[in-house]
Amino acid sequence: MEQGNETQISEFHLQGFSEEPELQTFLFGFFLSMYLVTVLGNLLIILATITDSHLHTPMYFFLSNLSFIDICLSSTTVPKMLVNIRTQRRVITYADCLTQMYFFILFLVLDDFILAVMAYDRFVAICHPLLYTVTMNPQLCILLVLGSWITTVLYALLQTLLVLRLSFCAHLEIPHFFCEYNQIVQLSCSDTFINDIVIYFATGLLGGGPFIGIIFSYYKIVSSIRLISSALGKYKAFSTCMSHLSVVSLFCSTSIGVYISSFATHHAHVSAPASVMYTIVTPMLNPFIYSLRNEDIKKTLRRFLLGKT
């Protein structure tokens, strides 16, 4: 089993999407455009929440954190992919690969945590409106975000350290456009039993935990909304969480779909195009979802873009 030596590894080869020369210019322009839209859109959300005092509330505090995480998540993978497409040199060093894997795990899981925190915020706002200001105080908001960061930082570090113990043989080609954890583990010629156990346990705990929290929060929200007598009251109550529900649905459906499709087809090549959905498309669409469905964000963005106070 121990035929390889991890100290001798210098680089991995990333297969990317296509090696056809005629497609490279299109792929570069396509992903560059999406990345720029992602960064610009999320930066506008962050600037809007910072500059407008009316948006200094828990909901928009969490939203600005989500926008920052989305920028970081896309920046973890897209710039390196663009460089590889442009230079036609699809390699990444061993150290850079582990670094990319660490930050990708960090921001992906952190995205899930923040979405769960935002669901809790909507739960308190709709189910316990009179206690909202007291419950969602600044100290609790900071603790929720800080706790999410600490948990995900430690988890990403644990997964990276577990990969460091693995040795690799001759075949170092990753069928992906970035250093995805599962693909790296599959390349190892060491015993990956511990890695498999940890990833399954962590997926259930760190992935399933926030997901259950979101489902429970919206179960309570729907139950409370059903008790409202007027149709207008129901609409106003539910409209406050429509943006978040849309983002959660998009994130969960794409990320779950990636793993279901990869397990169902047993082909690693399937996960690369599918991963584009939650690594690039979802962070790009989030600002549009919140700006189009939220009147406060739209008003602030208009004032910000037109230079009005």
Domains, in order of start, for the chain = 9-306 (1.20.1070.10)
Residue 197 confidence class, pLDDT cut points 50, 70, 90: very high
Of the candidates 143, 155, 258, 252, which has an alpha carbon nearest to the alpha carbon of residue 206?
Answer: 155
Q: Which amino acid is at 287?
A: P
Q: Percent of the chain having pLDDT more than 70?
A: 89
According to DSSP, residue 170 is labeled: S
- What pLDDT score does 5 carry? 43
| Least confident piece of the model among 59-68, 124-133, 213-222, 227-236 | 227-236
Place of tokens 């399937």: 270
Please give the mean pLDDT across all residues of the chain.
85
- What pLDDT score does 262 carry? 54
- What pLDDT score does 210 carry? 92
Q: Is the pLDDT of residue 55 over 80?
A: yes
Mean pLDDT of 264-286: 73
Q: Which amino acid is at 249?
A: S
Distance in angstroms (rounded) separating the CA atoms of residues 267 and 26: 25
- Which residues have CB under 8 Å from 222's CB, separation 6+? none
Mean pLDDT of 118-123: 93
Q: Are 1 and 168 in contact (CB under 8 A)?
A: no
Residue 4 confidence class, pLDDT cut points 50, 70, 90: very low
Q: pLDDT tens for residues 8-33? A: 677 898 988 777 777 889 999 999 99
- What pLDDT score does 264 carry? 53
- What pLDDT score does 76 carry? 96
Q: Is the pLDDT of residue 3 over 70?
A: no
H-state helical runs in the chain: 21-51, 58-87, 94-127, 132-135, 138-164, 181-187, 193-202, 208-226, 231-239, 242-265, 268-276, 282-293, 295-306
What distance, in Å, lies between the first and last C-alpha atoms of the chain?
66
Mean pLDDT of 53-80: 93
Phi, psi angle pair for 110, to nearest 5°: -65, -35
Q: Could you give the 3-state DSSP secondary structure of residue 280?
A: helix
Q: Could you give the 3-state DSSP secondary structure of residue 161?
A: helix
* pTM (two decimals): 0.89
Residue 97 confidence class, pLDDT cut points 50, 70, 90: very high
